[in-house]
Amino acid sequence: MKSTENKKEFMTPRMKYFVLLPLAVALTVFLLAVPASFFGIDGLTVVEQRVIALFVFAALMWMTEIIPNWTTSLLVVVLVLLTISDKGIGFLCDPRYGELINYKHILSCFADPVVMLFLGGFVLAIVAQEYGLDVTLARILLKPFGKRPRMVLLGFLLVISVFSMFMSNTATAAMMLTLLTPVLASMPADDPGKGALALSIPIAANLGGIGTPIGTPPNATAVRFMAEAGNDVTFLEWAVRMIPFVLIMVLITWLILPLFFKFKSKTLELQMPDSKRETDWRTRLVWITFVGTILLWATESLTGISSNIVAMIPLAVLTVTGIFGKEEIKKIDWTVLWLVAGGFALGTAMEESGLANKLLTAIPFGSMKVVTVLLLSGFVCYLLSNFISNSATAAMIIPIMLVVARGMSDPAAANQDAFLALGGTDVLISFVAMCASLAMVFPISTPPNAIAAGTGLVRSRDMARVGLLIGIIGFAFGFIWMTKIFPF
């Protein structure tokens, strides 16, 4: 589950606040002030023009990270409520200016079913760490891989990727680095294989997040907009399609890493600590709740219980029993939830204001080459995610892709048959989300990358070479996987 911790800053606060912020505000004001004819969209209303300006403002703030990404999301939600909702500032929110947004629909983005799904995932991850489920599972899962260096490497790749499907990848990376430290200490100082083990942490954590809807925020964003397009993807449907892709990419990584970092050691001794907690009724209940929730997610089609509702079960059970209290609630990464909600609010504004439909008629999506659209959108998402939060990247790109998908799905569109043959809207949106998780070129690209770089065992250029190669392979294979092998 990918964290949205801010990446290492490229520029000084002075440059951000005195150069970039005025530029972002000036461009936003310019877009608000120019005549509607400037945009070349027939019948553009004042409200729709404000949506465009707010979207550009959010994109600039997310890309430059002048303020934390989650605060940008909150600011955008407030601006939407004040300037284009039916309960906003009176003289600004006049029905004569266009279709106003129902303020309840904007506020409901904070409690969107997908946000609740993520909340349940956070609860499970927190109690898993608190009650030692993570260490216990790691010890059990790594034991079969023995002492051969290459097999130990495979074990770390598989275990980290599985954990990242359900836990924050930052927490997973930190935990696995703790388990890896004694192994690294037992290896010769000049053994290049240390680099392979260190890099296995961020690569597996980033790839693993692709596997489930709660694995990383871009997945949640994709699921939400796929539902808006008419396909409510279940937890199991996503996992069945994405986990095999993750496993194949992990095996490819396992083959690639030793090519860059050859092991000198013949054996590696894994020292797996036992859980420090006693097995009491609380620990047993946590195990039952953890396993039961995952089983309910996996059997949604049989039980009929939505994955979003299932996500609330652990919160209810664990709070009622006192296992998940006020101190644990403080550990929930609310910044992720608020960032995702801000992206949802922008999507709601585009849809309810009528801007999405105007873009459909103004831009000839229906005549574009389908393969070009898929590859370009995926590449843009991949490129941006190497520099800014993948959650923010998905929040910017996926709502636009939904509009593009609707244009190409129109029966009158010349490319409709080709678009549907490649999987249609669901494939376009899920492929973009996948590309966000393949971005791992720099130490700043993801928190796990930063953790690996912090070990001192991996040079930035080696991380860039391996990360770029894995990204390119994942991008090409992901496109084939989603369009030809296993589309939605």
Instruction: Give the model confidence (pLDDT) of 195-218 as tens digits.
Output: 999 999 999 999 999 999 999 999
Residue 57 has pLDDT above 90, yes or no: yes
Distance between CA atoms of residues 410 and 414, nearest Å: 9
Residue 28 has pLDDT above 70, yes or no: yes
If you average pLDDT over residues 152-170, what whole number do you get? 91
Instruction: Give the model confidence (pLDDT) of 321-372 as tens digits.
Output: 999 999 999 999 899 899 889 999 999 999 999 999 898 778 787 888 999 9
What pLDDT was estimated at residue 277? 64
Q: For the chain, state the CA radius of gyration.
A: 23
If you average pLDDT over residues 276-283, what whole number do you get? 80
Instruction: Give the model confidence (pLDDT) of 104-150 as tens digits.
Output: 999 999 999 989 998 999 999 899 888 988 888 888 888 899 889 99
Q: How far is CA 441 from CA 23, 361, 437, 461, 465, in A?
A: 28, 38, 11, 9, 7
If you average pLDDT over residues 157-164, what whole number do you get? 94
Distance between CA atoms of residues 424 and 412, nearest Å: 15
Residue 3 has pLDDT above 50, yes or no: no
Distance between CA atoms of residues 309 and 475, nearest Å: 33
Distance between CA atoms of residues 470 and 467, nearest Å: 5
Helix (H, G, I), strand (E, B) or coil at 101: strand
